[in-house]
A and B are shown apart, each in its own frame.
Chain A
Amino acid sequence: MKRKTVSILAVLLVSLTSVASFAAETIKIGALYPMSGRGGLYGQDSEAAIKIALAEVNAKGLPGGRKLEAIVTDDQSKPALAVTLAKRYITEDKVKFLYGVVSSGAALAVTEVSKEYKTIFVGSDHAATDLTANAFQKYYFRVSNNTYQSMAAGAMYMQETKMGGKIAYIGPDYAYGRDQIAELKYSLGKLGVKYEMVGEFWPKLYEPDYTSYITAIIKAKPDVLVSGFWGGDTVAFIKQAKAYGLFDKMKYFHPDGGGNYEVFSTLGAECPEGLIMSARHHNNWPDTKENKDFVQKFHKATGRYPSYAAEGAYAGILVIAEAIRKVGNADDTEALIKAMEGMKIKLPEDPAGFTSYIDPKTHQIVQAQAIGVTVKNDKFPPAKYALGKMKVYAADKIMATEEYIDILTKSKKK
């Protein structure tokens, strides 16, 4: 009897110490994503991508045999909640990195926490240029393109294809929608592209019905309709506009998020041909081993193809692991920052012959942007269309200029 008690105690002790030592070896990442509501898709795709990336980096090994681990919590895309959760991650869970965030509003709040607690925040999705410009702080890094990059590439596309003349814009009435058109106008101005704005339309985010906007846009008779919609709003607008014949009357140009996979998978056969779009990640482009592997791994794990958000969430984990390998531990924050500044990293969305890198000055990842038109492609069901005829814009040509960062800093201070 006594021996039995002793042995149980021994087993308990061993298991306890093993848990303790396991805990010591784990490096925690505190991720924040919307897991419910409209943005839930992006959170769930990001979580799946994080798991894939963690399996890869842990299999490859980290210094001292330590493992990376991520905790994912629903921030409901609310800034106040995101701040509370970020602080709890740092003080209670002792995370070494804050991670993720889809809403730019929430990200702008979390970056303040990151600065205050001197904890690195790797942004995987949100696109507001501010974070790597006027709201930049040295603990922040972004591993996906911002809207400036998309719109700068968009302006180059417009110049190249001689798209111009009368332009109308429609985008959600908040920072994301407002920034896109301001950035496009700035880049068009820089390139000397001549155009005339014949209308700007500002439905609210998640507006269910665009009927009255569509008839008003048709009345304005633009040559090009520039669109700044996001996610499901793109789908609703396209479905409603198609019945009015809008796409026969003007070019539809949507360079930041129009070509997101979830737009194609939802629209299926209803997607019109010839829309000019881009996205931060494409399942069918580039045709590299890295991209094919990533897309297939994601499909195997979830049974669906990834939305753009997944690639960013995957990329950030690789960046963090690489930084830890360079430094040799995850405790020296300043050394980790140095390691991440200028880091080169091959990612699924890099076309052949190009490697993404992190701009040491703004901590923004520098990536090429490809813009294409919708063509039939049923390799990624349920989508029946994807982007084709891609035109690729060099990464260094679409970075926010210092002049623009100055303009942004001054205008947002007002």
Chain B
Amino acid sequence: MSFEIFISQFFGGLSVAMLLFLVASGLTLIFGVAKVFNFAHGSFYMIGAYFSYQAIALFDNFWIGALAAALGAGLVGMLLEICFIRRIAGREEEGAFQILLTYAFILILDDAVKFIWGPAYKTISKPESLAGSMDFGAVTIPTYNMFIIVLGLVIVVSAWYVLSRTKTGKIIQAASTDTQMVGMLGVNVSLVMSLVFGVATAMGGLAGAMAAPLRTIAPGTGVEVIIDSLIVVVIGGLGNFWGALFAALLIGEVNAFGILWMPQWASLLSFAVMIVVLIFKPKGLFSREKGRKKI
């Protein structure tokens, strides 16, 4: 394999991985802090894409679209947390209720977007400034894919800063370890939960807006991204933020080179990686078998 081909596949895999991480990180954050498995997380990706589509139709500006996606999805996320998810927290049947409730969100949000925007596929154009491609010798990388990679890195660094260098971040880390204790120390735990939910769903919405120029948006799009995100979260360790990053990169690159070397088996590779990881590390790569959980 020549160096050009390696670089080309590597960067392709990286841009796939970053979009995957944007969705999976929110999913894992919600699980880590609120102990909720948000089955509907992909639906926030979907409504983010629709919000961005709508904002662009109104204001003809890609960045306003991105902002509308993050804010809109985050608000809907917080609203659903406050109105519904909070009500089942701590109940005996919580586990089953979480699945039923978040699954219901998928169906409701799918029908809501169909009702508002119709069943036809939607897509948005890339912003002018990112529409071209960059040539590095024999390697072509679309500018937009490069932008996705950079954006992903910016989010990783900001998340690291917030989680480990700010008070809010420390509260979130503490809440994921022992919610009750944090509450006793005078922290408004339910506010923290709502905020985490809002930030996580906003990241999902942003991912949808960022993916929309590359993909098609339709009712049901959410379900298509949730499976891959789930694989990422499981490999990285449920609730582990850095695990999700590592796993997204792993899946992105394994797929990129798998497609090159054994295209017949490409669609199995993510699952194969997950199975191997689960055999050796049943709680995910970044889990600590005992002791405190770190997000």
Min CB–CB distance B14 → chain A (angstroms): 9
Contacts of A215 in B (CB 8 A): 5, 8-9, 12, 256, 260
Q: Provided the pairs A41-B121, A236-B214 are in contact, do residues A214 and B224 lie with their beta carbons within 8 angstroms? A: no
Kindly state the separation between the CA atoms of A245 and B12 in the bound complex, as whole angstroms. 14
Q: Which of A141-149, A202-210, A365-373 contacts B (4 or more CB under 8 A)?
A: A202-210
A266 to B123, CA, bound (A): 6
In residues 53-103 of chain B, which contact A (Cβ within 8 Å)? none
Chain A residues whose CB sits within 8 angstroms of the CB of B211 once the complex forms: 208-209
| Interface status of A17 (Cβ within 8 A of chain B) | no
Interface centre among A44, A200, A219, A304, by most chain B C-beta atoms within 10 angstroms, is: A219
In the bound complex, what is the Cα–Cα distance between A304 and B117 (angstroms)? 13
User: Which residues of chain B come closer than 8 Å to A240, judged between CB atoms?
Assistant: 214-215
Closest CB in chain B relative to A26 CB, distance in Å: 28
Q: Mark B177-212, 1 if CB is under 8 A from A, else 0.
A: 000000000000000000000000000000000010
Note all chain B residues with C-beta closer than 8 A to A265: 120
Among the stretches B139-147, B150-158, B272-280, B287-295, the one at the interface with A is B139-147
Cβ-defined contact, B214 with A38, below 8 A: no
B284 at the interface (CB under 8 A from A): no
Q: Min CB distance, B134 to chain A, in Å?
A: 10
- A204 smallest CB distance to B (angstroms): 5
Q: Which residues of A contact B143 (CB under 8 A)?
A: 243
Say whether A239 faces chain B, with CB atoms less than 8 Å apart.
yes
Whether, in the assembled complex, B255 has its beta carbon less than 8 Å from a beta carbon of chain A, the answer is yes
Do A239 and B15 have beta carbons less than 8 Å apart? no
From the candidates B12, B131, B218, B267, name the one contacting A38 in the complex (CB within 8 A).
B218
- A231/B125 contact (C-beta < 8 A), A200-B263, A212-B12, A212-B13 known: no
In the bound assembly, the distance between CA atoms of A312 and B40 in angstroms comes to 35
Minimal Cβ-Cβ distance residue in A for B263: A201
Q: Are B266 and A202 in contact (CB under 8 A)?
A: yes
Q: Which of the residues A38, A200, A202, A204 comes within 8 Å of B219, measured between beta carbons?
A: A38
Cα A41 to Cα B218 in complex, Å, equals 9
Contact between B133 and A201, CB atoms less than 8 A apart:
no
A181 to B: closest C-beta gap in Å: 13
Question: Given A37-B219, A215-B12, A262-B121, do A203 and B266 touch, yes or no (CB 8 Å)?
Answer: yes
Distance in angstroms between the alpha carbons of A266 and B266 in the assembled complex: 28
Interface size on B, residues (CB 8 A): 46
Asked if B114 lies at the interface with its beta carbon under 8 angstroms from chain A, I say: yes
Contact of A36 with B216 in the complex, beta carbons under 8 Å: no
A36 touches B220 (CB 8 A): yes
A244 and B15 within 8 A (CB): no
- Is B220's CB under 8 angstroms from A236's CB? no
Report whether B267 and A40 are in contact in the complex, using a CB–CB cutoff of 8 Å: no
Residue of B8, B9, B111, B213 near A239 (CB, 8 A) is B213
Check if B220 sits within 8 Å of A202, measured CB to CB: no
Say yes or no: A212 contacts B256, CB within 8 Å.
Answer: yes
Give A201-233 interface residues, CB cut-off 8 Å to B: 201-204, 206-209, 211-216, 218-219, 231-233
Chain B residues lying within 8 Å of A206, measured Cβ to Cβ, are: 224
- Judge if A267 is at the interface, Cβ distance under 8 Å: yes
The answer, among B12, B216, B223, B260, for a CB contact under 8 Å with A211, is B12
Closest residue of A by beta carbon distance from B7: A215
With A40-B114, A243-B145, A262-B120: A216-B267 Cβ-Cβ less than 8 Å: no
Q: B33 contacts the other chain (Cβ, under 8 Å)?
A: no
Chain A contact residues, majority secondary structure: helix
Task: Determine if A213 and B259 form an interchain contact, defined as CB atoms under 8 angstroms apart.
Answer: yes
Cβ 8 A contact of B8, one of A207, A219, A236, A245:
A219
Interface centre among A209, A219, A245 (most CB of B within 10 A): A209
User: Which residues of chain A (237-292) have a CB below 8 Å from chain B?
Assistant: 239-240, 243-245, 262, 265-267, 270
A37-B110, A209-B19 known; A266 and B213 CB under 8 Å? no
Interface residue ranges of B1-35 to A (CB < 8 Å): 5, 8-9, 12-13, 15-16, 19
CB-CB under 8 A for A211 and B267, given A40-B220, A236-B214, A266-B120: no
A73 to chain B: closest CB distance in Å?
A: 16
Let me know if A232 and B121 touch, CB within 8 A.
yes
Q: CB < 8 Å: which of A36, A200, A201, A212 contacts B114?
A: A36
Q: Is B122 an interface residue (CB 8 A)?
A: yes
Q: Tell me whether B119 and A44 are in contact (CB under 8 A).
A: yes
- Residues of A within 8 Å of B129, CB to CB, are none
Q: Tell me if B175 is interfacial: C-beta within 8 Å of chain A.
A: no
Chain A neighbourhood of B145, CB < 8 A = 211, 243
Is residue A388 contacting chain B, with contact meaning CB distance below 8 A? Answer: no
| Nearest-neighbor residue (CB-CB) of A41 within chain B | B119
B263 in complex: contacting residue of A202, A204, A239, A243, CB < 8 Å? A202
**Known contacts A40-B114, A40-B219, A201-B259; A266/B122 CB under 8 A:** yes
Task: Quote the shortest CB–CB distance from B165 to chain A (angstroms).
Answer: 32
B225 on interface, CB distance cutoff 8 Å: yes
Asked whether A243 and B142 contact (CB < 8 A) given A232-B218, A267-B123, the answer is yes
Q: Which residues of B contact A304 (CB under 8 A)?
A: 118, 120
In Å, the complex CA distance between A212 and B13 comes to 6
Tell me the minimal C-beta distance from B272 to chain A in angstroms. Answer: 14
Interface residues of B in 222-260 (CB under 8 A from A): 223-225, 255-256, 259-260
* In the complex with contacts A201-B266, A239-B213, A211-B16 CB distance below 8 A: yes
Min CB distance B84 to A, Å, is 22
Minimum CB distance partner of A232 in chain B: B216
Mind listing 17 A-B residue pairs with CB under 8 Å? A36-B220, A37-B220, A40-B114, A41-B218, A43-B119, A202-B264, A207-B267, A211-B13, A212-B16, A213-B259, A215-B9, A235-B216, A236-B215, A239-B214, A243-B145, A262-B121, A265-B120
A contact set with B: CB distance below 8 Å: 36-38, 40-41, 43-44, 173, 199-204, 206-209, 211-216, 218-219, 231-233, 235-236, 239-240, 243-245, 262, 265-267, 270, 304
